[in-house]
Amino acid sequence: MSAQFLILACLSLALISALLAGVFQSFSDFVMRALATTPSDGGLASMQRINITVMRSWFLASFMVLVPATLALALYAVASLDGSVAVALVLAAAIYVPGAFGVTMLGNVPMNNHLAALPPEERSSHEYWQHYVSRWTRFNSLRMFACIATAGCYLYAAMLMAGQAG
């Protein structure tokens, strides 16, 4: 793999990771707070619609593509690279896969599935909604930090490689 291609791959993955972090940050910072304070069953029903809509989005495609891309680059680093660049690429995968993808699959998705089955107008649904907002947001913040760290690893690797090439 050429150094230029590897630098471009790192920059691309850094950009995707940073964009994902921005979406997660938006939800943790203000979207969930706004939904939580929406009168009646509006917040719960809106989150149900968001969870349906995200299934056919560029966000989800980017989120999913990052898993094999990150793992492939880490395997390449282990097999073919040395030093800090290899460490940064392996670290990116070690952070993203459990910190963003794993938290999503084991935390956010089961909660989303449970929320999807609830009738918004029932009292028991509102009780779950209050629990959902705080716990889902904590998981979401973990995903945000994982994506920020992943982007940092890729930027660091790209800068190292650019310095070596120049």
* Three-state secondary structure of 98-154: HHHHHHHHHHHHHHHHHHHCCCCCCHHHHHHHHHHHHHHHHHHHHHHHHHHHHHHHH
Question: What are the tens digits of pLDDT across the range 89-139?
Answer: 999 999 999 999 999 999 999 999 999 999 998 989 999 999 999 999 999
CB distance 93 to 70 below 8 Å = yes
**129: amino acid identity, one letter:** W
Distant-in-sequence, close-in-space partners of 112: CB < 8 Å, separation ≥ 6: 51, 136
pLDDT of residue 164: 86
Residue 23 pLDDT > 90: yes
Task: Tell if the pTM clears 0.85, that is, is over it.
Answer: yes
Residue-wise pLDDT tens digits, 139-149: 999 999 999 99
